Amino acid sequence: MDDALRVGLLGYGIAGRVFHAPLIAATPGLRLHAVVTANPDRREQVRREHPDARLVDDADLLWRTPQALDLVVVATPNRQHLPMARAAIAAGLPVVVDKPLAATAAEGRALVDEAHRQGVPLTVFQNRRWDGDFRTARRLVAGGALGRVTRFESRFERWRPAIRPGWRESAAPGEAGGALYDLGAHLVDQAVQLFGPVRTVYAEVDRRRSGALVDDDAFVALTHTGGVRSHLWMSAVAAQLGPRIRILGDRAAYTTYGLDVQEEALRAGGRPDAPGWGEVPPERYGHLGVDGDLRPVPTDPGRYQDFYAQLVAALRDGGPLPVDPADAVATVELIELAHRSATEGVVLPVSS
């Protein structure tokens, strides 16, 4: 551990505590060196869960001594993603930003340009690329098991009829709150990763719960340049959940239910270096084929830990970053178009 990269983690809410801190702690070559949080309860959690980490009240203290760190992870509320990432870049520190990269594509693009000018590595935590069901779907599509794919259906649905306090329910533009920014950032990214660039966007975006300030129920249709149509649903008001993934091809279809198991395991205190991490029991396997002739397909284990393992390799050996930040900018652009499409009630083209 003497030569491990020293990580400064900004924020210890759900993103910092549940996702980033456990993954950092379990990744060879990384050491959680400092955690920035002023919340007394969260500071106590850090002391219990990562006793060797230094507690910092204000991120400004990190920028004063950048030589004490090798990497910064921004796991703050969305409104702070941009200023914290800018500060890290100005300090010359490689930076991971939780999704979404920024509230607007223009802001995200400017941040990526600044990182390039300064020669500072910048990547985005699109962890759902390493979900087990998505890894399985990608393998099946690439292997031709479905034939020519015509439609990709993907859902992140929940049943949360009561509005929860917090910034995610805020209508302030800088918060980038609502289902489309929160869940849609994953769904759109996965669709583009599977089927490439998008030609047109159509969306229906609604506030279903009484008193809701931001969208809590949305549908987005993407038409990819290759002809595949992606139909994406995200909702907080789904009393019965649809398939997590359904892919239709001219030879077969693949359907799977239920969310990836890694988030639940992390919330329960699990670590990705534990035996059996990310594995799905056979009763939860998806099915491939046609009605009357279906077979279960073992789900590839989820591997969130690969994000940070690849980041270590990139910083030490110059390999590719786990997520190209330009991908995250493109995702925000599609989310912006989806909001505009819903407002205007039209199908919108994507500029090349």
Is the pLDDT at 282 greater than 60, yes or no? yes
| pLDDT for position 205 | 95
Is the pLDDT at 226 greater than 60, yes or no? yes
Name the residue ranges covered by the structural domains of the chain: 5-125, 128-306+333-349
| pLDDT for position 352 | 67
* CA atoms within 13 Å, Cβ hemisphere of 6: 16
The proportion of the chain whose per-residue pLDDT surpasses 90, expressed as a percent, equals: 91
| pLDDT for position 176 | 80
CB crowding 116-128: b at 16 or more within 10 Å, else e: eeeebbbbbbbbb
The proportion of the chain whose per-residue pLDDT surpasses 70, expressed as a percent, equals: 98
Whole-number mean pLDDT of the chain? 95
- Assigned token pair, 173: 């533009």
Per-residue pLDDT tens over the stretch 52-111: 999 999 999 999 999 999 999 999 999 999 999 999 999 999 999 999 999 999 999 999
| pLDDT for position 330 | 97
| pLDDT for position 197 | 97
Is the pLDDT at 318 greater than 80, yes or no? yes
| pLDDT for position 268 | 94
| pLDDT for position 177 | 81
Q: Mean pLDDT over residues 27-35, rounded?
A: 97
Instruction: Give 343's pLDDT tier (boundaries 50, 70, 90).
Output: very high
- Assigned token pair, 349: 């083209």
Instruction: Give 2's pLDDT tier (boundaries 50, 70, 90).
Output: low
Is the pLDDT at 259 greater than 70, yes or no? yes
Distances (CA, A) of 297 to 243, 245, 262: 15, 13, 19
SS (H, E, C) the chain: CCCCEEEEEECCCHHHHHHHHHHHHHCCCEEEEEEECCCHHHHHHHHHHCCCCEEECCCHHHHHCHHHCCEEEECCCHHHHHHHHHHHHHCCCCEEEECCCCCCHHHHHHHHHHHHHHCCCEEEECHHHHCHHHHHHHHHHHCCCCCCEEEEEEEEECECCCCCCCHHHCCCHHHCCCHHHHCHHHHHHHHHHHHCCEEEEEEEEECCCCCCCCCCEEEEEEEECCCCEEEEEEECECCCCCCCEEEEECCCEEEECCCCCHHHHHHCCCCCCCCCCCCCCHHHCEEEEECCEEEEECCCCCCCHHHHHHHHHHHHHCCCCCCCHHHHHHHHHHHHHHHHHHHHCCCEECCC
Higher local confidence (pLDDT), 170 or 67: 67
| pLDDT for position 223 | 98
Considering only the top CATH level, what class is 128-306+333-349? alpha beta
Instruction: Give 171's pLDDT tier (boundaries 50, 70, 90).
Output: low
| pLDDT for position 166 | 75
| pLDDT for position 291 | 97
Per-residue pLDDT tens over the stretch 285-294: 999 999 999 9
Q: Mean pLDDT over residues 273-279, rounded?
A: 94
Higher local confidence (pLDDT), 174 or 196: 196
Exposed/middle/buried for residue 231 (C-beta within 10 Å: 0-12, 13-18, 19+): middle
Is the pLDDT at 241 greater than 60, yes or no? yes
Query: What is the bridge-based pairing of β-strands 198-206 and 348-349?
Result: antiparallel
Phi, psi of 201 (to 5 degrees): -130, 135
Is the pLDDT at 196 greater than 80, yes or no? yes
| Calpha distance 241→22 (Å, rounded) | 29
Is the pLDDT at 169 greater than 90, yes or no? no
**Contact by Cβ (8 Å): 81, 177:** no
Q: What is the CATH number of domain 5-125?
A: 3.40.50.720
